[in-house]
Amino acid sequence: MDISPTPATPAPHPAESLRRRRLERLLRRLPTRGEQAMRWLLQPGRAALRFVLGSLLIIGGVLSFLPVLGLWMLPLGVILLSEDVPLFRRASARMLEWIERRHPNWLAPETGPTS
């Protein structure tokens, strides 16, 4: 399932389009089950679940000094909350841009138009 907007919705701002493209590339690099879970969570009807899980992941990331919890939880929580909260959308865009610049191999290669 693609996370791009449907034809009935207006075209997103160019920065939002770039964020979604980067997110799509990052999702393609996840293991199959992780990618499926993230795509399921990013579907439009799951805003309440995204809010709860995103908040818990951010709290877990802040408490990363404790055993079991880790800093990896923080960006995942930001990505989940960015679908519904504009403040986190900007943070997510900056985070994805940083990943693309500093660690381009973390993102799947862009797929060109198929003919």
In a domain? residue 19? yes
Q: Which of 55, 34, 43, 49 is nearest to 1 (CA)?
A: 43
Q: What is the 3-state secondary structure of 21-89?
A: HHHHHHHHHCCHHHHHHHHHHCCHHHHHHHHHHHHHHHHHHHCCCCCCCCCCHHHHHHHHHHCCCHHHH
In a domain? residue 5? no
In a domain? residue 30? yes
pTM above 0.75, yes or no: no
State the total domains in the chain: 1
Q: What is the pLDDT of residues 6-56, one digit of tens each?
A: 444 555 678 888 989 999 998 888 889 989 999 999 998 999 999 999 999
| 59 in Cβ contact with 43 (< 8 Å) | no
In a domain? residue 61? yes
In a domain? residue 86? yes
Token pair 């003919």 is found at: 115
Q: Give the model's pLDDT for residue 75.
A: 87
Q: Which of 103, 88, 81, 114 is nearest to 22 (CA)?
A: 103
Instruction: Give the distance from CA 92 to its chain's centroid.
Output: 7
Residue ranges making up the domain that contains 74? 14-104
In a domain? residue 110? no
Band of pLDDT at residue 3, cut at 50, 70 and 90: low
